[in-house]
Chain A
Amino acid sequence: MSGILNSSIGRKFAMALSALFLMIFLLQHFAINLLSVFSPDAFNDVSHFMGTFWAIQYLLQPVLIFGVIFHFVMGFVLEIKNNKARQISYAKNNGAANSTWMSRNMIWSGAAILAFICLHFYDFWLPEINTKYMQGDMSGLLANGEFRYFEELQHKFVDIWRVVLYCIAFVFLALHLLHGFNSAFQSVGANNKYTKGLKGFGKAYAIIIPLGFVFIALFHHFNH
């Protein structure tokens, strides 16, 4: 068991586990964001719970941050190792003949998502940490006594350029998931009679979730 992460298959397995964890998180994030479209009150309540419940804040949040960092660091480490495995490139390479663009460019779609996460942290996570843990305000309330979460969300999507950046990032997320979803299952050794169905589900997940995020961003831009 020791040293499993030093092997190519062990690294693949760890990469896949972090990917599966992040995909579950993404689904949960999407579900909560979708609430903001249908019920601002419900969105406020759930956001307050997520932002103040100790188990989420002190147990799940560190695990999530570790998962995100691990996935990105391991992705770049693997890319560097893989580049070393072919030091002279082909003069002519027809990659499109045997594989999808998404599968060949995971590092670039991943780098675009990383850039987006930095922006997203700057927009939402850092102000949240500042309010709660620097200023010590755990109430989640505005001066008028109402919850601040829905108000802050809508305010962020007033700027059209932020909305455009978010939408571009969601396109890269879709491209990343179109390969990544099923790749994660293959890496953990799941290739069987359910694979065909799983591929269909993976494609649906990779398109519906990012498209849903695009819808939410546009909804708040045009309804603030």
Chain B
Amino acid sequence: MNMNLTLKIWRQKNASDKGKMVDYKVSDISPDMSFLEMLDVLNEQLINKDEEPVAFDHDCREGICGMCSLYINGEAHGPDRGVTTCQLHMRMFKDGDTITIEPFRATAFPVIKDLIVDRTSFDRIQQAGGFISVNTSGNTIDANTIPVNKHDADTAFDSATCIGCGACVASCKNSSAMLFVGAKVSQFALLPQGQVEATDRVLNMVKQMDEEGFGNCTNTGACEVECPKGISLENIARMNREYLAASLKG
């Protein structure tokens, strides 16, 4: 059965605007629509009325790019588990529901417009050390020629599935980015290619994370629950170990 819904959406003209919650009605919403398609319907309505459409981030709409965000009814990416907002479907809601839609909130994620936030702080953390230095002059050795323990390879891959969407930061009561940084540190810490720069990597990434104004992790575990890719708290523990060992060395 199609649904009629009330939407309470954060509207903010630009980064310096104060912003406020605005109520909208949408009708005849199919339960098979994705959440973003429902917002497309709302925006068509607004455009037809010569009103400013709601700005929100999206790209692949396949749950793999990490572009979509949204804090829906008090949870990052909404009430479903293991999915991004683009993979959240309207069947998770009921006819007559009121849905509150807000941008991811963190000092390090300033709002650009409406529901779009600036997540380039994550890019700067990556640039600080989330890479390995490889000679690409034509003599690059195939990574598969280096034997890697299966368990380590699988665990590193799990860490590497982090799409950097920022749901961990949005869900954390402290706006901590430690699950993201923990995953990015772990994906290299477990592989031989990551060992050479391991000390500098964790020190530089954590330094950048702190400079960006993210909060301190208090191990509530909210990040792990809300992460659309199921990144585990083990990544934070591993980063803590890496950081403490690197601090003693450095």
What is the size, in residues, of chain A's interface with B at 8 Å between Cβ atoms? 41
Choose among B8, B73, B174, B233 the residue with the greatest number of A CB atoms under 10 Å from its CB: B174
Q: Hey, what's the 0/1 contact readout for A177-195 against B, CB within 8 Å counting as 1?
A: 0010011001111111000
Q: Quick one: which of B74, B108, B178, B222 contacts A90, CB cutoff 8 A? A: B74
User: CA separation between A183 and B174, bound complex, in Å?
Assistant: 15
User: CA separation between A85 and B171, bound complex, in Å?
Assistant: 12
Q: Is A94 at the interface (CB under 8 A from chain B)? A: yes
The reply to whether A12 and B240 contact each other, CB–CB distance below 8 Å, is yes
A197 CB to nearest chain B CB (Å): 16
Q: Is A57 at the interface (CB under 8 A from chain B)? A: no
**Contact size range, B:** 35 or more
The reply to whether A13 and B244 contact each other, CB–CB distance below 8 Å, is yes
The chain B residue with its CB closest to the CB of A75 is B218
The chain A residue with its CB closest to the CB of B203 is A7
User: CA separation between A78 and B71, bound complex, in Å?
Assistant: 25
Q: How many A-B contacts are there with CB distance less than 8 Å? A: 140
Q: Which residues of B contact A188 (CB under 8 A)?
A: 240, 244
Q: Is B173 at the interface (CB under 8 A from chain A)? A: yes
The reply to whether A97 and B105 contact each other, CB–CB distance below 8 Å, is no
The reply to whether A103 and B220 contact each other, CB–CB distance below 8 Å, is yes
The reply to whether B233 and A85 contact each other, CB–CB distance below 8 Å, is no
Q: List 23 interface pairs A-B (beta carbons < 8 Å), by A numbering.
A: A4-B247, A7-B243, A8-B206, A8-B210, A9-B239, A10-B244, A10-B247, A11-B216, A85-B214, A92-B73, A95-B74, A97-B79, A98-B220, A98-B222, A99-B220, A103-B218, A103-B219, A104-B173, A182-B219, A183-B218, A186-B240, A189-B244, A190-B237
Starting from the known contacts A8-B209, A97-B79, A186-B240, 10 additional A-B residue pairs (CB-CB under 8 Å) come to A1-B250, A8-B215, A78-B218, A81-B216, A84-B213, A85-B106, A90-B71, A90-B102, A183-B218, A188-B244
A residues touching B (Cβ–Cβ < 8 Å)? 1, 4, 7-13, 78, 81-82, 84-95, 97-100, 103-104, 106, 179, 182-183, 186-192
CB-based closest 10 A-B pairs:
A94-B74, A191-B237, A85-B215, A189-B241, A98-B225, A82-B174, A85-B175, A103-B220, A82-B215, A189-B240
